[in-house]
Amino acid sequence: MAFVKGRFRALVAHPQVEALGELAELLGSAGLHVETARTPLEALNKLRAHPAHVIVSQQVTGSFDGVGLLESSILHAPEALRIALVSSPDEAVDLDYRPAHAGTIIRLVARPSERSRLVALVNEGVKLLSLVEEQRELVRKLSLEQGKLHRRETLLDTVVKERTKELEESYEKLKVANRQALFGLAEAIEAKDPYTKGHCGRVAAYSLVLAKEAGYPAEGLETLEFGAFLHDIGKIGIKDAVLLKPGPLDDAEWVHMREHPVKGYDIAMKIAMLHPIMPAVRNHHERWDGSGYPDKMVAENIPLVARIVAIADAFDAMATDRPYKRALPLEECEAVLRKTALKMYDPDLVAVFCDRHLGTLYREDYDDLPLDDDVRAASSSD
Ligand SMILES: [Fe+2]
């Protein structure tokens, strides 16, 4: 940093007016703003009001204790360059100004030949003070920038957190909207076949509880639930005359009715949102022994979700009243499932479903209804 005239202050103390003026002029010519004092007390008062960067005092014996003044000045100007002008060369011992020892007093012999040395010393001291000040300014600016940077980081962090929260909320809303859309589709199926009202929801609930008990991967449960909910979506494409026929279906009508898994698959193919549930839609009428439809898959080749939905679907068909049959009690439903497992259903899943009585999920639906062979025969769902 360039030395700026008058930027640094000097205090000169000397009991004699003439010598005081001479010293003041000398330091003033070195670019310092100079104050003068004729007594140590006056000097200390001035220092208290305006701390100096350079303090020069004549060392005089008696009432004017120059070195004492310089020592006391540490309190008011701790970093000042302190110079004592002594009368004898023997007293001029401390010649190095070391900032690390700011209390150091430099002693110069007070004679004209030493004045150029005094000016040189003051100039060096002032340069050093400039550097220290510059360094402090840099540290101050750096700290300021660090503070700004920290505030920006904090702001950025807040913005990122807010955006993340908004995105998460949007995603949750989207999920809710998707669920509503899917439930709407399921309602469309039930609206077409009012006799199965509530069936889709119950199949979804039974499937979910069976999947959980069978150790189905947690991350796949939601898709499984939707798949179970919409497994009969293809019934939208079945003619009302067949779907709603009160009596038994003839062969041609059965052929048409059994097209619903493929019709459902074709619908799901056209809606990206439904792609993950296609196995449940297409394969829920496959049978463990390969006698099912549409793909005649056998045993574990049948997608797991379809095997789960098949059991839930069959159970609900047995456990609820239909126009052509009465509901079976829980024990009878379980007995039919166990009896037909190996032929129709995954026996391990049937064991889980029956052993743990997962059908009690809608237990209020079970009344002690009279059994009847026709009901048993009609218990397999389509
Ligand atoms: Fe079906």
pLDDT of residue 101: 46
Last residue of a domain, one of 133, 159, 185: 133
Q: Is residue 27 part of a domain?
A: yes
Q: Is residue 144 part of a domain?
A: no
Judgement on whether residues 268 and 368 belong to the same structural domain of the protein? yes
Quote the Cα angle for 179-184-187, to 5°: 125
CA of 355 to the centre of ligand 1 (A): 25
Q: Is residue 285 part of a domain?
A: yes
Q: Is residue 278 part of a domain?
A: yes
pLDDT of residue 90: 61
Q: Is residue 177 part of a domain?
A: no
Closest CA to 55 of 100, 44, 65, 63: 44
CA of 261 to the centre of ligand 1 (A): 7
CA of 254 to the centre of ligand 1 (A): 12
Determine the average pLDDT of the residues in 333-354: 94
pLDDT of residue 367: 43
**Do 369 and 329 touch, CB atoms closer than 8 A?**
yes
Determine the average pLDDT of the residues in 169-192: 80
CA of 232 to the centre of ligand 1 (A): 5
**DSSP designation for 230:** T
Closest CA to 288 of 232, 332, 339, 251: 339
Judgement on whether residues 227 and 327 belong to the same structural domain of the protein? yes
Judgement on whether residues 127 and 199 belong to the same structural domain of the protein? no
Judgement on whether residues 200 and 81 belong to the same structural domain of the protein? no
Cα separation, 52 vs 50, whole angstroms: 6
Q: Is residue 159 part of a domain?
A: no
Cα separation, 33 vs 25, whole angstroms: 10
Cα separation, 294 vs 313, whole angstroms: 17
Judgement on whether residues 124 and 208 belong to the same structural domain of the protein? no
Q: Is residue 25 part of a domain?
A: yes
- Report strand pairing: 54-58 vs 9-13: parallel
Last residue of a domain, one of 133, 153, 168: 133
Model confidence pTM above 0.85: no
Judgement on whether residues 51 and 129 belong to the same structural domain of the protein? yes
198 to 46, 297, 329, 352: CA distances (angstroms): 97, 29, 18, 24
Over the stretch 190-213, which tens digit does the pLDDT of each residue have?
777 776 778 888 999 999 999 999
**Do 193 and 237 touch, CB atoms closer than 8 A?**
no
CA of 314 to the centre of ligand 1 (A): 9
Judgement on whether residues 227 and 333 belong to the same structural domain of the protein? yes
CA of 121 to the centre of ligand 1 (A): 104
Residues paired with 55 in a beta bridge: 11, 82
Cα separation, 371 vs 376, whole angstroms: 8
Q: Give, for 83, the enclosing helix (H) or strand (E).
A: strand 81-86
Looking at 18-22, 36-40, 44-48, 325-329, which range is the least confident one? 325-329
Q: Is residue 265 part of a domain?
A: yes
Judgement on whether residues 112 and 234 belong to the same structural domain of the protein? no
How many folded domains does the chain comprise?
2
Count the Cβ atoms, other than its own, within 10 Å of residue 147. 10
Over the stretch 251-294, which tens digit does the pLDDT of each residue have?
999 999 999 999 999 988 888 778 888 999 999 999 999 999 99
Q: Write the CATH number for 368.
A: 1.10.3210.10
pLDDT of residue 275: 86
Over the stretch 284-329, which tens digit does the pLDDT of each residue have?
999 999 999 999 999 999 999 999 999 999 999 999 887 677 888 8
Judgement on whether residues 353 and 224 belong to the same structural domain of the protein? yes
Q: Write the CATH number for 93.
A: 3.40.50.2300
* CA of residue 175 relative to chain centroid, distance: 21
Token pair recorded at residue 355: 């052993």
**Do 206 and 229 touch, CB atoms closer than 8 A?**
no
Q: What are phi and psi of 294, to 5 degrees?
A: -90, -15
pLDDT of residue 379: 38
Judgement on whether residues 101 and 218 belong to the same structural domain of the protein? no
Res. 169 pLDDT band, cuts 50 70 90:
very high
Judgement on whether residues 221 and 77 belong to the same structural domain of the protein? no
Res. 38 pLDDT band, cuts 50 70 90:
very high
Over the stretch 123-156, which tens digit does the pLDDT of each residue have?
888 888 888 888 889 999 999 999 999 998 888 8
CA of 371 to the centre of ligand 1 (A): 25
User: Which structural domain, as residue segments, surrounds residue 224?
Assistant: 193-377
Last residue of a domain, one of 117, 133, 149: 133
Closest CA to 361 of 214, 217, 204, 220: 204
CA of 97 to the centre of ligand 1 (A): 99
Judgement on whether residues 219 and 349 belong to the same structural domain of the protein? yes
